[in-house]
Structure 1
């Protein structure tokens, strides 16, 4: 069972205090033993922002930072913001708003640059980027990869991590080669919504038992997440905020103490430079 000295980190979830549960979801997480959160800004258009310039993403980022501060006050540990541009925006721009792929790339790269300002100022922990997980034409694919490369460049400059939203795969080593080519170590690239086995990035494993068992038995660095989306129109989508603490309990009950330490202490330090034990003790 989770004890008072065990940090429990959900590496990727969203909070929407204006339209759905917000802090109530954080309280659910904390009641079951959750201590730390990485909160990713929701897609800009979900907050009614139809960006025309990089500056237009700023309200999305600032609202996320505000809810993270509120979330930290509910936790035994703390929360951190992860900011960036959802890769699905490229399709919204090209298919719905008439942008060319190059115009979409320029706008999304500008959004990454603004997100990087918050990391540089110490107001955010890491960047978010990626590419569509669905079929797109070559021009959109190339534009998306260029946006992701920009995120790697900025993260290299800032010595921070990048969380990637990308297609399901067990081998994304080409992507980490791109990161390394601009000076970003492969362990600072995190694949969100990952399975238990992955070459290249650090897997942020969806907290389903079979995926977690695979990750635990590999003995490699990994993180745990729910991708909770806090969306009133999709209340049952992805996993709920109570899931990571429940799965940590399950892992401990089944003898995976070392894997729990890997996912909630060692890998967060390795990837993000955060000390989940020290921040828990200070709280």
Structure 2
């Protein structure tokens, strides 16, 4: 099957690749065949890659494995793939509920993992950081510890000069997080809510590719990104969205006349948020 081409860069802002247990590079090939050009690849949750971390340094194996698959994806794409590294906020529940770790100790471990991730950003091997807080009900102690981790990530983003992707509860108003970012020297527009709906106060929304959400985001005329959150887990084959979805939705938006919105999501907003040039890195 010949590759389909779209007259624009096409960026999936948030997906995972598992070359050992999932579809890995076959998912990248599917993305490219439908017209995809650029990917932001987020490391899978550490425990999904067999890492039961006891120290911040233990996360390094997870980050290095992610860099390996990103380099391979980079070779396949007509554009670029970039790694986004961090500590999944759900780890705190695994530590506290399953391993019996105190919430403050879990906080310290997760912050140490983010410190290591920030090293990769500072030396140019990663583009951005990933953090957040649970999207489910927790105890006050876990919630407070999670917010401390999130704030630490924002401080690291400010120090490293990079964007921070966040996994949080469903919300249309995260102005509190935007204010935390600004107080730490990180511009709120460089905070990205992954798995966002079309309307969001505070950070930049990375909108899940539901057609009605994308149409609403396009009509609003404000900065946004597009993502699938492809999880690349063979045990969850129908979870979230597949790697072909972003290029298919871009084609839909173009067919419906939303050319300006496509440019905003795939050229202008990536440049403003991440400092990447999806046009200059597109080689054909």
Same fold by TM-score, threshold 0.5 exceeded?
yes
Q: Distance in 2 between matches of 1:231 and 1:75?
A: 22
1:37-48 residue pairs with structure 2 within 5 A? 37-48=39-50
Q: Distance in 2 between matches of 1:3 and 1:255?
A: 17
User: Quick check: 1:56 aligned with 2:58?
Assistant: yes
Residue of 131, 135, 152 corresponding to 1:129: 131
**Shift >3 Å, 4+ stretches:** 2-5
* Residue matched to 1:34: 36
Any stretches of 5+ residues in structure 1 without a counterpart? Answer: none
- The alignment partner of 1:82 has SS state of strand
Q: Distance in 2 between matches of 1:264 and 1:78?
A: 13
- The alignment partner of 1:33 has SS state of coil
TM normalised by structure 1 equals 0.98
Q: Is the 8 A contact 1:126 1:272 kept in 2?
A: yes
Q: Distance in 2 between matches of 1:102 and 1:53?
A: 14
Q: Distance in 1 between matches of 2:7 and 2:251?
A: 13
String of CA shifts for 1:260-280, please: whole Å, max 9, x gaps.
000000000000000000000
Residue of 85, 88, 101 corresponding to 1:86: 88
- The alignment partner of 1:6 has SS state of coil
Q: Is the 8 A contact 1:152 1:179 kept in 2?
A: yes
Residue of 228, 231, 237 corresponding to 1:229: 231
String of CA shifts for 1:173-204, please: whole Å, max 9, x gaps.
11010010010000110000000000000000
1:5, distance to aligned residue in structure 2 (A)? 3.9
Q: Distance in 1 between matches of 2:71 and 2:178?
A: 31
Q: Distance in 1 between matches of 2:277 and 2:197?
A: 25
1:20, distance to aligned residue in structure 2 (A)? 1.2
1:152-171 residue pairs with structure 2 within 5 A? 152-171=154-173
Q: Distance in 1 between matches of 2:206 and 2:36?
A: 17
- The alignment partner of 1:276 has SS state of coil
User: Quick check: 1:109 aligned with 2:111?
Assistant: yes
Aligned residues: 281
User: Quick check: 1:13 aligned with 2:15?
Assistant: yes
Q: Distance in 2 between matches of 1:69 and 1:4?
A: 23
- The alignment partner of 2:76 has SS state of coil
* Residue matched to 2:213: 211
Q: Distance in 1 between matches of 2:258 and 2:96?
A: 46
Q: Distance in 2 between matches of 1:28 and 1:4?
A: 14
Q: Distance in 1 between matches of 2:6 and 2:256?
A: 19
1:163-182 residue pairs with structure 2 within 5 A? 163-182=165-184
* Residue matched to 1:247: 249
Q: Distance in 2 between matches of 1:136 and 1:123?
A: 34
- The alignment partner of 1:51 has SS state of coil
- The alignment partner of 1:73 has SS state of helix
User: Quick check: 1:118 aligned with 2:120?
Assistant: yes
User: Quick check: 1:73 aligned with 2:83?
Assistant: no
- The alignment partner of 1:240 has SS state of coil
1:25, distance to aligned residue in structure 2 (A)? 0.2
Q: Distance in 2 between matches of 1:278 and 1:163?
A: 23
Q: Distance in 2 between matches of 1:225 and 1:185?
A: 22
TM normalised by structure 2 equals 0.98
